[in-house]
Structure 1
Amino acid sequence: MRPLICPAPIFDLRKDTMRVSSWFWVISFPFVTFAPGEAEISVWKLGGSGLAWSGNDTVQVLVDFETAPGAIQPLYLTKEQNLFARLSNWSPIKEPRELGYVDGTRPRIWVAADGFFWFQRAGILVNLWVDGDSTTYVPPGSLSSDSEWYTIDVGVPVPVDQFGFFTPPRGLTSDGRLLSEDIYDAFEISVSEETDPVMTTEKLDGDYHPLETLIVRRPQNFDAHVRIDFPKQYVRFVRFKRIITERTRGSGVRLGTIGDFELWAKGVPKRALYTTKVLELDQEVNFGRVFWAATPMRLVDGQAVEAPDARVSVRVEMRSGRDADPNVYHEFTDSGEEVVVSRERFERELKPPDIDRTSVIQEGKPGLRARVAYDTDNWTFWSFPIVEPGTQIPLERGRHLQLKLTLESQSFDDFMRLDSLWIEVSSLLAQRVAGEVARLDEPLPAGGLTRVELGETTDFSYDIKADFESAVQGGFDAVRIRTGSRPRFSSLKMGTPLLQVEAARVEEDDEGLTVFLSERITRSNSPPLRLVFATEVFVFANTFAGEVFNSGSDDLPQRIEVGDVSRAVSTNSLKVWGASDRVEQVIGDLRFSSGVITPNGDGINDELRVEYSLFRLPEAVPVELSIYRLDGTRVAHFDVGRQGAGLQQATWNGRSADGRRLAPGLYLLGLSFKAEFETIRYLRPLSVTY
């Protein structure tokens, strides 16, 4: 069986040889230099004969680099080793604050009792309860709480059928008892495949909740070495709760000493994660399609065989940038304000704010780290997951690239072997092509947001300006705009001032508009452009994504970036928002508890409370709260419930619907009201920071 691979692209695979050199956390490789007018597409390759998988990752979770040289695949887990002992770099707290932490990329273990975290004992947790050493343990402390539970996160769901723990094999307690006999009198164990919603709402000791699946509740235990068998299932989180008995309460100490926790897994994890370092090219390029060669496999009688029907898949996400770091770092000033600093100063000279055992974070002052923001000026957001080879990469030009790969499996014995991945690249057509869209009758909208009535034909202006820095940048003679519905072209204007000119050719289809120019836009001829057209918008958030290309060559198109192109237009955006004129008749007095939400777990602006008044509703209607990135991608969605006329409220905890923390940045909060035969939406900007 041949690997899954897209038909051969139009480039020469012999050009994929490269030299790799490391600098800081950026990997650099040379790139072909193009002569003016040349039409040439080259390829960058990872795996196979290209850049090695091993050593060029910044994150890898349960990835096997050794079984198939030159390829990667999920690590097949066996019961030869306790899974906890196999994992490393454990975090001792529920919300790791390390720079660059992403949920699911690092194992965690935390304990709740006497306040949500035991910060004083955090290091002990990591070193002694999941270290694979039966002789290390945490000495019992005084009994000061009737509630104590431990939560362990292995990062990704793995096929598990057994959990256990045991007392240390030797040693004595402080009162002379054998540690090997210092058992837990009673306990409860629960598990979940993914983040359980209760973990995003619980506070302090009194908020204990078992996870989704209760494995066992043992009110009386006599075993020093406990192993609990249960039906094999995917497990990411394990929660162990000590049940305080009368014997323990009467002793005045926490009876029970654990030498180690154990988790026994066999099979393929539900997903394995691989993220590259930031990859540096020798020059800025445009990106084309992404391809990969992968083979679905299955373990049969201990042997890996090709299996076309294996329930496996590959997901590829990527982002591009024009500098070496996607983050912007800040420190506090004397006045408590924030200023931008270098990453080197942030990491080496500034201290993180102190945090006490009740999760209260120290107030900002000079010498302390402030927030880390995303560099939206120079970096794109992570792309949507690409699941088919040959897909056009939705990235802007860039000199830096980072990839995030997920190898997924829906069966304990099926897995995907990924041999290589490659990406089309070519030289820039212009240094930068910027654009902004607006309603023709409202070029200066309030708040800079272009709002239209859903389903109604609206006239739009689309302004474009290209900048050039080199004669190598060969220019373009065509513009393509994706509108999502069939447009009606009206006019093309060029120059300063803008004057109407004839287009060489216009093509309209159900997805957008292509306008061929009568003259080529080059370094020596780069007037402003304005396209005027009409179309309908049928979705809530629609990006009029655009690109320019050279109709006479096979050069890759160059994406149009958001920018301030015209003083006569104030949107600085390619986004169009669907709305309804009825919103002001239905909602009023909308207030946010804060314009910034900081879900750090410190009790300050951890949640956003939205208050509003509803009018003219004869009965309660369903209300939904959604969070959108500025590119229109919905990242969180919650059903608030049915609400009627009067003062109402909704809350948001700063997380996605599956409980993950959102990246810092600016978002749009949307409230939707399903009234009669239409949905009424209201938008408001909101900042998330940490």
Structure 2
Amino acid sequence: MGWFDIRVGDASLPFQDGACGRTPGRRWIKKNDPLLSVLHSTRENLDVVTDLRFKRQSIRFLTFQAYPLRNWELAEFEIYGEGFVEEMTYITQILDFGRPISWGQIRWSGELPEGARVEIRTRTGHTPDPKLYFAPNNNGDLDQITLKDYLKIDALSRLPTEYDTENWSFWSPPYDFAAGLRDETLPAEAWQDGTPLLSPGPSRYIQIAIKFFSAPFAAPRLDQLSLQLGEAPAAQEVVGEIWPIEVDSFEPTTFTYVVLPSFAADNIGFNRLEILTHARVDTIESVVLDGSPVDPDLFPYEILDDRIVVQFPAVKGEEDSFKQLEVVFNAPVLRFGTEFSSWVFNSEDPDQIRQQVRPGNATFRFSGDVLAVKTPVGGNLLVNVEVGPNPFTPNGDGLNETLTISYNLREVVADRTVSVHIYNLAGQVVAALPPTRSRSGQFSQEWDGTDASGQRVPPGLYLYELSLDVEQGERKTGFLAVAY
């Protein structure tokens, strides 16, 4: 062949894979397709064996076009790559556990080299197939049909499928790979490692999707993945809602959280409710079960940095169905659309598998039927910066020895670096606190009054600078005093 060209494209191009089927938004490759880049083109080729080498790049699609279209022959065509496949997805079959079960933890073993990434997601459902299939009837209306009947229709005539949102959850956010790693120093049966499974239960079916992103010469590896499950759910269903669902400031707000369970005869019941608040709750004002206040002396609650756990008399059995549990607490909301997810569990269950509360109509007093809260959009990301005690006295007498710089981050959805520097009035850095990586929440850092060499700084006035590493950059400054 005297004239040929080779064109290539990466995975971002909207081309259809294969010759059969049709995916919305994708098309087949055309002759001399303008979306493809010319990798090599020659108008005069006299070599019987052609060996082409080119700079390493990511390629998903490759076309070979020879001219003239007749009187040429191609015996072999070989392509070799370097390194690892850039991106690969593995999706399990729909896993059927035979009956609705509760999901506990998910964990895995594997390696994640620098520059590589793994995204693990889950979804759960109540039917064997998350897709709905349709075909027009004689009247032109659409009827739902089975997969078997759908496959009998010519591939080019099939209507697009729809996702069964009534019976299947959407794919979960990706799990933190480090959080779910198996800890080989702990007994496997104890399930003291892993991370909570994010998809709702109880459910009979689950599916897992794993997406691998490789570096040019390093690939992630997943050796095994396991699920913790409970065959006896705490309840048949638990729905919850929060009120108010919109706040106009980032100051602590009084929220009412209502949970409504329904039970079947074989459910084990629950006596704990854990609510993820993302920021530390100021106070829990009340816990009410079926209209009766719960005595905090008999059933104490826990306030942790990002959640609360309340306890109450156990509810179990069909006679306890639709007994409302109401928790009133004060907490700030630092990100628009923050979801106050929650779980119920039975403290007497050895595994203490938590069952997620689903957003829904838990009370007719509120109209939201959601667990998410809206906040004002825009504004500063670093808010509520406080420094104290100011002045402070790091002189070794045990009183006011350290300075605490506390702050809130809002609308920060991915980990960002926060750094604190202390300057003297000449503008020289006298101390730099260890940088931290954080997202929306409440945080604090401490300074013991020493410089980079570990020596106490002289008494006087100093300047602090709190910086957030974001695209626009944001910082807060102020004065502090050291006295002896």
Q: Please state which band the TM-score falls in when normalised by the shorter chain.
A: 0.5 to 0.7
Q: Given that residues 286 and 327 in structure 2 are in contact (C-alpha distance below 8 angstroms), is that contact kept between their aligned partners in structure 1?
A: yes
Report the equivalent of 2:248. 453
The residue correspondences of 1:616-627 to structure 2 (distance < 5 A) are none
In the alignment, which of 272, 293, 296 is matched to residue 478 of structure 1?
A: 272
- 2:320 aligned with 1:525: yes
Report the equivalent of 2:123. 319
Q: Given that residues 435 and 572 in structure 1 are in contact (C-alpha distance below 8 angstroms), is that contact kept between their aligned partners in structure 2?
A: yes
Give the drift of 1:324.
1.4
In structure 2, how many angstroms separate the alpha carbons of the residues matched to 1:198 and 1:273?
18
Report the equivalent of 2:167. 378
Report the equivalent of 1:4. none
In the alignment, which of 557, 569, 572 is matched to residue 354 of structure 2?
A: 557
In structure 1, how many angstroms separate the alpha carbons of the residues matched to 2:71 and 2:242?
68
Output the TM-score relative to the length of structure 2: 0.62
In the alignment, which of 537, 540, 561 is matched to residue 336 of structure 2?
A: 540
Q: Given that residues 188 and 217 in structure 1 are in contact (C-alpha distance below 8 angstroms), is that contact kept between their aligned partners in structure 2?
A: yes
**One-letter code aligned to 2:129:** D
In the alignment, which of 276, 281, 287 is matched to residue 92 of structure 2?
A: 276
Q: Given that residues 435 and 560 in structure 1 are in contact (C-alpha distance below 8 angstroms), is that contact kept between their aligned partners in structure 2?
A: yes
Q: Given that residues 380 and 396 in structure 1 are in contact (C-alpha distance below 8 angstroms), is that contact kept between their aligned partners in structure 2?
A: yes
**What secondary structure sits across from 1:344 in the alignment?**
helix
In structure 2, how many angstroms separate the alpha carbons of the residues matched to 1:191 and 1:352?
26
- 2:386 aligned with 1:568: no
Report the equivalent of 1:347. 151
- 2:134 aligned with 1:330: yes
Offset from partner CA, 1:122-177 (integer Å, 9 cap, x none): xxxxxxxxxxxxxxxxxxxxxxxxxxxxxxxxxxxxxxxxxxxxxxxxxxxxxxxx
In the alignment, which of 189, 193, 209 is matched to residue 7 of structure 2?
A: 189
Q: Given that residues 278 and 306 in structure 2 are in contact (C-alpha distance below 8 angstroms), is that contact kept between their aligned partners in structure 1?
A: yes
In structure 1, how many angstroms separate the alpha carbons of the residues matched to 2:132 and 2:13?
32
Q: Given that residues 476 and 549 in structure 1 are in contact (C-alpha distance below 8 angstroms), is that contact kept between their aligned partners in structure 2?
A: yes
In the alignment, which of 105, 113, 124 is matched to residue 289 of structure 1?
A: 105
**What secondary structure sits across from 1:345 in the alignment?**
helix
Q: Given that residues 438 and 569 in structure 1 are in contact (C-alpha distance below 8 angstroms), is that contact kept between their aligned partners in structure 2?
A: yes
Report the equivalent of 1:429. 234
The residue correspondences of 1:403-418 to structure 2 (distance < 5 A) are 403-412=208-217, 414-415=218-219, 418=222
In structure 2, how many angstroms separate the alpha carbons of the residues matched to 1:399 and 1:384?
20
In structure 2, how many angstroms separate the alpha carbons of the residues matched to 1:539 and 1:197?
34
**One-letter code aligned to 1:262:** E
**What secondary structure sits across from 2:79 in the alignment?**
strand
**One-letter code aligned to 1:270:** E
Q: Given that residues 454 and 580 in structure 1 are in contact (C-alpha distance below 8 angstroms), is that contact kept between their aligned partners in structure 2?
A: no
Offset from partner CA, 1:619-647 (integer Å, 9 cap, x none): xxxxxxxxxxxxxx99xxxxxxxxxxxxx
Give the drift of 1:545.
0.8
Q: Given that residues 263 and 320 in structure 2 are in contact (C-alpha distance below 8 angstroms), is that contact kept between their aligned partners in structure 1?
A: no
Give the drift of 1:558.
0.8
**One-letter code aligned to 1:466:** P
Give the drift of 1:259.
6.0
In structure 1, how many angstroms separate the alpha carbons of the residues matched to 2:127 and 2:15?
40
Q: Given that residues 219 and 243 in structure 1 are in contact (C-alpha distance below 8 angstroms), is that contact kept between their aligned partners in structure 2?
A: no
**What secondary structure sits across from 1:505 in the alignment?**
coil
Give the drift of 1:336.
4.5
In structure 1, how many angstroms separate the alpha carbons of the residues matched to 2:378 and 2:293?
33
**One-letter code aligned to 2:148:** E
In structure 2, how many angstroms separate the alpha carbons of the residues matched to 1:227 and 1:190?
17
Identity of counterpart residues, as a percentage? Answer: 22
Q: Given that residues 239 and 360 in structure 2 are in contact (C-alpha distance below 8 angstroms), is that contact kept between their aligned partners in structure 1?
A: yes
Q: 1:457 to 1:383 in 2, by over 3 A?
A: same
Q: Given that residues 430 and 469 in structure 1 are in contact (C-alpha distance below 8 angstroms), is that contact kept between their aligned partners in structure 2?
A: yes
In the alignment, which of 376, 381, 393 is matched to residue 197 of structure 2?
A: 393
**One-letter code aligned to 1:227:** D
Report the equivalent of 2:260. 465
Q: 1:534 to 1:338 in 2, by over 3 A?
A: farther
In structure 2, how many angstroms separate the alpha carbons of the residues matched to 1:341 and 1:560?
32
Q: 1:416 to 1:579 in 2, by over 3 A?
A: closer
Give RMSD over aligned pairs. 3.9
Q: Given that residues 127 and 205 in structure 2 are in contact (C-alpha distance below 8 angstroms), is that contact kept between their aligned partners in structure 1?
A: yes
In the alignment, which of 287, 290, 305 is matched to residue 492 of structure 1?
A: 287
Structure 2 residues not aligned, in runs of 5+: 17-24, 182-193, 380-412, 415-470, 475-484
The residue correspondences of 1:23-422 to structure 2 (distance < 5 A) are 181=1, 183=2, 185-192=3-10, 194-196=11-13, 208-211=34-37, 215-223=39-47, 225-231=49-55, 233=56, 235-240=58-63, 261-294=77-110, 314-334=118-138, 336-348=140-152, 350-354=153-157, 369-386=158-175, 387-388=177-178, 389=181, 390-397=194-201, 398-412=203-217, 414-415=218-219, 418-422=222-226
Q: Given that residues 548 and 559 in structure 1 are in contact (C-alpha distance below 8 angstroms), is that contact kept between their aligned partners in structure 2?
A: yes
**One-letter code aligned to 2:165:** T
Report the equivalent of 1:153. none
In structure 2, how many angstroms separate the alpha carbons of the residues matched to 1:376 and 1:574?
18
Q: Given that residues 262 and 320 in structure 2 are in contact (C-alpha distance below 8 angstroms), is that contact kept between their aligned partners in structure 1?
A: no
Q: 1:332 to 1:403 in 2, by over 3 A?
A: same
Give the drift of 1:285.
1.8
Give the drift of 1:347.
2.5
**What secondary structure sits across from 1:461 in the alignment?**
strand
Structure 1 residues not aligned, in runs of 5+: 1-180, 297-308, 355-368, 440-449, 583-632, 635-673, 678-690
Report the equivalent of 1:9. none
Q: Given that residues 190 and 216 in structure 1 are in contact (C-alpha distance below 8 angstroms), is that contact kept between their aligned partners in structure 2?
A: no
Q: 1:209 to 1:257 in 2, by over 3 A?
A: farther
Report the equivalent of 1:515. 310
Alignment size in residue pairs: 352
Which stretch shows the higher mean deviation, 202-211 or 560-569?
Answer: 202-211
Q: 1:256 to 1:569 in 2, by over 3 A?
A: farther
In structure 2, how many angstroms separate the alpha carbons of the residues matched to 1:205 and 1:578?
52
